[in-house]
Amino acid sequence: MASALTTFAPLVGDVDALEAYLEELSPSVFARLEMAHLARVQIFRALVHQGPKQRRTDTLRTPQLVFTSTYDGSLDAFLDALAERVPEADEWWGRCAGYPGRDDRAAFRAFVRRHEVRTSLFASALPEATVAEVRDALVLRERLVDFAAEAQGLDAAALHERFRATFG
């Protein structure tokens, strides 16, 4: 079952340079995390007024680095994997006040937890499936598409035989 993590951490220093870095950052850095369904890093400079039902306009004192993710397993295991496999985290969180770095795992986890906000609503396309199950399903889908393309024009007996040989 998927869980969610959202953090807001105040930025210090050159926010424009960090924003340029994040724009160039490949989303594939998160593919190194086999338990991550989704992850995103972005900067909030201001909050948007949500219309007449919002009684007051929320303001930010300083730009915030926002990290969001949906993941399988425990938060500590996810954070340990993030610290181990995504050195880019030092680049984005390293521009936040009090960031200890990834080397001290306990301090890293504590930093992230200190900036975590309660995620009471999040979307997951397949909330009961693990990332591994989704990847396996995608591989099977690709095999089925290839099979269908190669098996066009076979008679029923040949199609049945090919199917059994391919998918056992």
Residues 75 and 110 grouped into a single domain: yes
Same domain, 97 and 141: no
CA dist 52 → 46, 55, 58 (Å): 18, 7, 13
Q: Is 119 part of any domain? A: no
> Is residue 124 assigned to a domain?
no
Task: Give residue 132's pLDDT band: very low, low, confident or very high (50, 70, 90).
Answer: low
Per-residue pLDDT of 61-101, as tens digits, reads 899 999 999 898 899 999 999 999 999 999 999 999 999 99
Q: How far apart are CA 36 and CA 77, in angstroms?
A: 11
Residue 147 has pLDDT above 90, yes or no: no
Same domain for 46 and 81: yes
Any domain includes 123: no
Q: Report if residue 19 sits inside a domain.
A: yes
Mean pLDDT of the chain: 89
* Band of residue 33 on the pLDDT scale cut at 50, 70, 90: very high
Task: Flag whether 53 is in a domain.
Answer: yes
**What is this structure's pTM?**
0.76
Q: Measured between alpha carbons, how far is residue 56 from residues 51, 98, 99, 163 in Å?
A: 10, 30, 31, 62
pLDDT of 53: 84
Tokens 């007449």: give the residue. 52
Same domain, 100 and 143: no
- The torsion region of residue 152 among left (phi > 0), alpha (psi -120 to 50) and beta comes to beta
79/140 same-domain check: no
- CATH at 59: 3.30.70
In this prediction, residue 19 carries a pLDDT of: 96
